[in-house]
Amino acid sequence: MNSKIVTNLTQPHVARRRGMNRRAFLRAGGVAIALPFLEGLPSRSAWAADNAPVFSLYIVAACGVVGKKFFPDQTGALTTAGLAAMTDKATHVLAPHASNLLFIRGINFPMNGPTNCGHAQGLCQALTARPAQGGGKTASATGVSADVVIAELVNEGGAEPLTLYAGNRRNGYIAERISFKGGGAGQVRPADDNPYALYAKLVGLADSGGGSGSGNGAQLAEELLRSRKSANDFVKEELNSLMRMSALSSADKHRLQQHFDSIRDTEVTMGEMGGACSQAGLATSELEALKGGLAFKTDGMIEDVAKLHLELVALAFACNFNRVATLQHGDGTDQTKYAVPSNASLGWPFHHLSHRVQSDASSGNNPTAEQAHAEIDVLRMQTLLHGLDQFKARDLFDKSIIMWTNHVADGPSHSFRNVPTIIAGNGGGYLKQGQYIDAGNVTNNRLFNGLIAAAVRDKTEWTENFGEGQGSGPIDGMLA
C-alpha cells in the first residue's frame, strides 16, 4: 500500500486528505459517551451470523420438590395443551414454553447420600458433578463448577461468570454455595444478592469495579444502537473516500472491501439484536428501589428478587455482556415464610415445611406441610416462567441453555438421587426440546458433558469428561 495512505490509516494524528467535519466529530463523541453502557458493549456485542454464541444460565433451587406433584407421570412429548392440563403438577405452569423445554428424570449426584448436611453437600455437587467435602457452613466442592469452565472457554477477556443469589445472606448457616473456582479443592465464588449490582453495570451507572458512577442509564440504553449506527455510517463514509483515491492498488481496495463487509456483518447483527438489547421489560422502578441496599425479608420477597435477577440475566445475554451466569434460588436452610394457602394454619418457614416437621434436623410426615411445599413448588415454577418469558421476549431460546435443578431431590430424605432437572432453550440447535426423558439413573457429570459441549462449540470442541461419575459423554436422548 502507498506509504502515505498507510500513515493516514494507522496514525490519526497525521492530517488526512479529507478532514473530519464537525458533524462526524460529534458522532464520534457520542459513541465515546455511550461506551460506559455495558462496559464497552460496542466492541463486544456483535457476533458473526454463522457463528452465534450460546449463553448458559444455571439455576439451583433449595429444599427439594414434592416429586409426585412435580413432573408429569409419564415420559414422552411435551405439548402446551398436554402440560397445561396437568394442573396437579407444579411444572404445568411452564406450559406456554412446552416446545422449548426438556424435562429429565433419573439424574443423580455423585454422592450416594448425605454424610453431613444434605443441603450444603447438595449445593456443592449441583454444578460441579463431584462429591462435596465437609458440611454445613464449611461445606465445599472438590472441583470447579461448570459455569466457570464454560466462562473460561467462551467469555472475552477471561470475564468470570455472573454469580447471583436470591436468598438471605445473613442466614448465617449456608449462603451462596454453587459456583466454584478450580485449583485443587473448589473455592466458592461470592454472589451478588442485590439485583441492583448487576443492573448498575448494565446501564452504565457503575464502573467495572462496582463503584457508583454517574449518568443517565435509561437514555444510554436507548441510544446505544443509534450511536453505533452513527459510528458505522461515519466509518463507511471515510472508507468510500479512500476507495475513490487513484493511488490505491487493487490489493488495497480488496482490504477496504473487507472492512465494508465487516461493517455490514455488524449491522446485520445489530438488526438481529434490535430491541432485545434495551431496558424494555425490566422492572426498573423495583430495581431503583434497591439502590440503597437490599433489606432482605422472609415474607416471600425471595421470589421478587429471583425474578429481577432473571430479567437482568436475559438482558445481559441479549447484549452479549457475559455468556454465563448462575442463580442460587433459596438458602440451604431456607427461612422464607411463604403465604401459600396450606401454610396459613402452620406459618412454618420453608425449610421446616420441606422437613414436614418444625425442625432443622429431623424429618416428619405432616400432610399439610407437604401440600404447602407442593404449592411453593408452583410458585418457584411461576418465577422460572417469568424468566423464560424474558428470554423469549429477547429472542434467546435458540441461543441459550437455561438449566433449573435443585440441591436435593426432596425435602424429608435429602436424597441425591433422581434430582429434578429442567432444560429450556436448544443451545444453538444442539439440545432436544419438547420432551420428557429418562436419563437412566446416571450421575450429573453426563448432563454437563452435553451442556458444556453445546455452550462452547462456537469456540472449541468439548471432548473431556466433566466431574466424576458413572460413564462419560452426554446423556443418551438429550441431544437433538
The beta strand positions in 30-160, using DSSP E, are 55-61, 76-77, 101-108, 132-133, 140-141
CA 78-150-126 angle, 5° bins: 60
Quick check: 146 pLDDT over 70? yes
What per-residue confidence (pLDDT) applies to 279? 82
DSSP assignment, residue 314? H
Question: 23: which residues sit within 8 A by CB, 6+ positions away?
Answer: none
Read off the pLDDT of residues 98-126 as tens digits, 9 standing for 90 and up. 999 999 999 999 999 999 889 999 999 99
**CA 388 – CA 396 distance, rounded (Å):** 9
DSSP assignment, residue 363? -
What per-residue confidence (pLDDT) applies to 411? 92
**What mean pLDDT comes out for the span 77-93?**
98
Read off the pLDDT of residues 369-381 as tens digits, 9 standing for 90 and up. 999 999 999 999 9
Q: Write phi, then psi, for 420 (nearest 5 degrees).
A: -65, 140
What per-residue confidence (pLDDT) applies to 234? 55
Identify the band that residue 135 occupies on the pLDDT scale cut at 50, 70 and 90.
confident
Give me the residue spans of the domains in the chain: 3-34+221-273, 52-203+281-456
Assess contact for 117 and 139: CB atoms under 8 A: yes
CA 444-445-447 angle, 5° bins: 60
Read off the pLDDT of residues 304-357 as tens digits, 9 standing for 90 and up. 999 999 999 999 999 888 999 999 999 888 999 999 999 999 999 999 999 999
Identify the band that residue 27 occupies on the pLDDT scale cut at 50, 70 and 90.
very low
The partner residues of 402 in beta bridges, in order of sequence, read 57, 424
Average pLDDT, the chain: 82
Assess contact for 127 and 112: CB atoms under 8 A: no
| More confidently predicted of 210 and 409 | 409
Task: Locate 465 and state its grid cell.
Answer: 469428561
Task: Locate 435 and state its grid cell.
Answer: 420432551
Of 12-21, 146-155, 447-456, 461-470, the least confident: 12-21
Task: Locate 25 and state its grid cell.
Answer: 466529530
The radius of gyration of the chain's CA atoms, rounded to the nearest angstrom, is: 25
What per-residue confidence (pLDDT) applies to 136? 84
What per-residue confidence (pLDDT) applies to 174? 78
Which of the residue ranges 32-36, 127-131, 178-182 has the most confident prediction, judged by mean pLDDT? Answer: 127-131
Q: Percent helix, strand and coil across the chain, each rounded to 5?
A: 45, 15, 45
What per-residue confidence (pLDDT) applies to 471? 87
Quick check: 236 pLDDT over 90? no
Greatest CA span in the chain, whole angstroms? 87
Identify the band that residue 86 occupies on the pLDDT scale cut at 50, 70 and 90.
very high
What per-residue confidence (pLDDT) applies to 2? 37
The partner residues of 163 in beta bridges, in order of sequence, read 326
Assess contact for 101 and 381: CB atoms under 8 A: no
What per-residue confidence (pLDDT) applies to 179? 96
Element spanning 329, H or E: strand 324-329
Read off the pLDDT of residues 285-305 as tens digits, 9 standing for 90 and up. 999 999 999 988 888 899 999
**CA 191 – CA 177 distance, rounded (Å):** 9
CATH dotted code for 52-203+281-456: 3.40.720
**What mean pLDDT comes out for the span 46-59?**
77
Q: Taking the C-alpha atoms of 433, 438, 440 and 443 in order, what is their torsion angle to the nearest 10 degrees?
A: 60
Identify the band that residue 212 occupies on the pLDDT scale cut at 50, 70 and 90.
very low
What per-residue confidence (pLDDT) applies to 50? 57
Quick check: 29 pLDDT over 50? no
**What mean pLDDT comes out for the span 42-64?**
75
Assess contact for 435 and 476: CB atoms under 8 A: no
Identify the band that residue 260 occupies on the pLDDT scale cut at 50, 70 and 90.
low
Assess contact for 419 and 64: CB atoms under 8 A: no
| More confidently predicted of 182 and 215 | 182
Assess contact for 220 and 206: CB atoms under 8 A: no
| More confidently predicted of 356 and 233 | 356
Task: Locate 300 and state its grid cell.
Answer: 416471600
Q: Where are the alpha helices (DSSP H) in 94-216?
A: 118-126, 146-154, 195-202
> 203 in helix, strand or coil?
coil
Quick check: 204 pLDDT over 90? no
Read off the pLDDT of residues 160-203 as tens digits, 9 standing for 90 and up. 999 999 998 877 677 788 999 986 677 899 999 999 999 998 88
